Amino acid sequence: MSKYEPFLQVKVEGVDVSKWVTSLSLTEDDRRVDHGVIQFVDRELVLVDSLQEGAMVEVDLGYNEAGKHATVFKGYIMKSKLNISMGGLTQFQIFVLDESIKMGWEIKRVMWDSKKVKKVSDIVKKIVSASGLSIGRIEIKPDPVITDHMTYHQYEMTDLTYLQYLAQETACKCFVEYEGSNKFYFVPEDAVLREVTEPLVYADATKTNLLDFQASYSYGYVQHHQSDWAVDPHTGKVVSHKGENLSGFPDWGNESSHLSEVKQWDSQLEQAAGKLTSKTKSKRKSLEKTLKKPRERSGWTSRTEEKLKEDDRILKTKQFGYNARGRALGNFELRAKSTVEIKGVGQRFSGKWYIHTVTHKIDSNGYQVYFECSR
């Protein structure tokens, strides 16, 4: 086997079934349970009765070279599908979900009061520890204190649904990440777990690994800090909070080196682009100056100053209004909850992006990765 051919190993309860796998699609998401579909050829109708729901599945993928593949998923078979065609081709699919799904099997009713826990993070720790999952990181800022007047009771919800509810209430995201073993994370919405070392490059004769790329940029999606005022319910005094200006807007404009290359094959385009850049860049800067300012709100009837500051939050992974999706050559290091450098797509869209969703696909077309990202 060539080292450039995909490497795929699928084990079910420790038994290697890779030989009969015809395709795999595995999706990682920064907010939902990771999930996948594995398809087998099963002419003798043996696997259809052997691969049963509740069994543990491990997936190791990448390329057939030392250090170029790794285990990226460990979860359960939760659904199956059989397809027998008239020509005798028998295909069997299993649908897998990551290990966090075991917290979604039983509906519970738990009264989480101040006698049991002190803060929301204590609730998260107790639930995750009881599930048997290892804790990767639990970080809640601010971490709400449980009192007689501030409770977070679990009413007729599974542990997984309840944790997702707590994440929404505290501007966090929760998920399981495979790092030698499955580890549970409960972290702020804009937390980044890692940086992909290999950039995604388009239109480079020797380094191209970005196959498709679609990106959009709209000032309508730019996020803003908030300035607000309210009456403190404890003191009766008017309190206020001044939001910060948004900083760090990506900058772009045709570089002289790039224009000189264009001049060799279209001098008119080079001249027009040079003039346009000098005129339009100042217009964009003027617009950004306005957009950087915090939004003024009309004021709350009752809020403490601390609560006003807490409510002034933006999602840094989406703050500048950029969204994109693409397809790249397979890379097991390209994971959700990561940042990646994208090059060769024009200055406007080149730079660092946050990856929300990644789907690894291995089939007769080889190993490819589909991703969605923002900044």
| Two structure tokens written together for 311 | 């409510």
Q: Is 147 left (phi over 0), alpha (psi -120 to 50) or beta?
A: beta
Give CA–CA dist 341/322, Å, rounded. Answer: 14
Give CA–CA dist 24/361, Å, rounded. Answer: 6
Give CA–CA dist 364/219, Å, rounded. Answer: 41
Closest CA to 355 of 342, 334, 336: 336
Whole-number percent of the chain with pLDDT over 70: 97
Whole-structure pTM value: 0.89
DSSP letter at 144 equals P
pLDDT value of position 71: 96
Contacts by residues 340-343 (CB-CB < 8 Å, ≥ 24 positions apart): 340/195, 340/196, 340/199, 340/200, 340/373, 341/196, 341/199, 341/200, 342/199, 342/200, 342/201, 342/202, 342/210, 342/213, 343/199, 343/200, 343/201, 343/202, 343/204
User: What three-state secondary structure class fits 51?
Assistant: coil
The answer to whether the Cα torsion of 118, 123, 129, 133 is positive or negative is negative
Give me the CATH code for the 104-188 domain, please.
3.55.50
- Residue ranges, comma separated, of all CATH 3.55.50 domains in the chain are 104-188
Give CA–CA dist 329/204, Å, rounded. Answer: 14
- Residue ranges, comma separated, of all CATH 2.30.300.10 domains in the chain are 6-99
DSSP letter at 145 equals B
Q: Are 308 and 239 in contact (CB under 8 A)?
A: yes
**At a CB cut-off of 8 Å and minimum separation 6, what does 18 contact?**
8, 9, 10, 11
Q: Are 48 and 39 in contact (CB under 8 A)?
A: no
Q: Are 40 and 363 in contact (CB under 8 A)?
A: no
Residue with tokens 């890379």: 331
Instruction: Classify domain 6-99 at the CATH class level.
Output: mainly beta
Q: Judging by DSSP bridges, how do beta strands 226-231 and 238-241 pair with one another?
A: antiparallel
Cα angle 64, 66, 67 (rounded to 5 degrees) comes to: 105
User: What three-state secondary structure class fits 37?
Assistant: strand
| Residue ranges in the chain whose pLDDT is less than 50 | 1-2
Cα-only R_g, the chain: 25
